[in-house]
Amino acid sequence: MSNNDCGCGNSSTNETSPVVQNQRVVIQQVETPCTRTFHETVTEAAELIITPNIISGPTSTRCVGEPRIVTTFPTVQPDCRFTVEQDVCAQFEVTFGAHAEVGDTGVICGEPGTGPCPPPPSNTCCLAVAETNQGNTDVTTTATLNGNPLEAAVASPFSIKICSPNCELEGSHFNLEVHSTTSPDVHFEINHQEITEMSCNGLTLNLTAVSDLHIGSGTLNNVTFNITINPTSFSVVASLGGNTIFTSTSTTDSPDVIDIAPCNPS
């Protein structure tokens, strides 16, 4: 084999070049769709139109009196007309239904990461918590909104149920309303489907949830709540986009306000 000017062999030969060409790698995407069910109660309206449907039946005739012979042809009309009316009751059935379709679509970008999607959190109940004092007279609350203390804050009403005694999460909720003399009322209602993480340390329960935070007549969506509950207090830190929006801590010396105990699987 003869060398060319570069010393790498004769370029006119058909010998295979040791140079490896770049190859385009196509990654096959596998989609695993996430299906959720939604519903909405709507009021449907329709204009109902009733049109007349009058049909004449067969005509029967009979002679009235004796026939007459006339000498002149009388004035005649092509037909005789008269008007009748009759009240009727129109009864009919109307079927109401609906169909749904997708409107505007798009994505809200988050933070990218390496590797596969993280597995869904496993919210295994470890403590059963219930608020049992409806009066809440033995509860002292401190709270902040956007970093500012809320004067004379009162947590009332509140309702706590996290897991049942037989370790079922369904029906769990954490509802809290805080009143203050210097701020609009703040409240939220977290249901069991909005709880994303849960852990226990002794008789202390820590949970994370994503829900709405209502401030006066306004609402903040997709707020992250970090909640800690123990037999004598519960605290809430609500944040949005990494910024703390609302905090509250309620404490009590009464043992009958928060009932908390390990749950027992049935």
Give the tens place of pLDDT for each residue, 47-60: 889 999 889 889 99
pLDDT digits (tens, 9 = 90+) for 148-160: 999 888 888 888 9
Question: For the chain, what percent of residues have pLDDT higher than 70?
Answer: 82
pLDDT computed for residue 3 by the predictor: 52
Least Cα distance to 192 among 160, 170, 223, 225 occurs for 170
Helix (H) or strand (E) holding 184: none
pLDDT recorded at residue 210:
93
Q: Please tell me the predicted confidence (pLDDT) of residue 7.
A: 53
Q: What is the DSSP string of 99-117?
A: ---------------SSSP
DSSP for 101-160, written as a single string: -------------SSSPPPPP-----EEEEE--SS-TTEEEEEEETTEEPTT-EEEEEEE
Q: Does 19 have pLDDT greater than 60?
A: no
What total number of domains does the chain contain? 1
Q: Which of 21-30, 115-124, 151-160 is the least confident region?
A: 21-30
Which band of pLDDT confidence, cut at 50, 70 and 90, is reported for residue 27?
low
The C-alpha atoms of residue 252 and residue 255 are separated, in whole angstroms, by 8
CATH number at residue 189: 2.40.128
**210 neighbors 240 (Cβ within 8 angstroms):** no
Give the pLDDT of residue 256. 67
Judged against a pLDDT cut of 70, whether residue 236 lies above it is answered with yes
Residue 1 lies in a domain: no
CA 185 to CA 152: how far, in whole Å? 12
Within a domain: 26: no
User: Is residue 143 situated within a structural domain?
Assistant: yes
Is the per-residue pLDDT at 11 higher than 70? no
Partner residues linked to 106 by β-bridges: none
Q: Which domain holds residue 208?
A: 127-262
Taking the C-alpha atoms of residue 129 and residue 149, their distance in angstroms, rounded to an integer, is 28
133 within a domain of the structure (yes/no):
yes
The rounded distance, in Å, linking the Cα atoms of 191 and 169 is 10
Mean predicted confidence (pLDDT) in 27-52:
78
**Residue 140 included in any domain:** yes
Query: How many angstroms separate the CA atoms of 205 and 42, rounded?
Result: 39
Mean pLDDT, residues 90-119 taken together: 82
Answer whether residue 29 is part of any domain.
no
Predicted pLDDT of residue 83: 93
What end-to-end distance do the CA atoms of the chain give, in Å? 84
- Give a yes or no: residue 199 inside a domain: yes
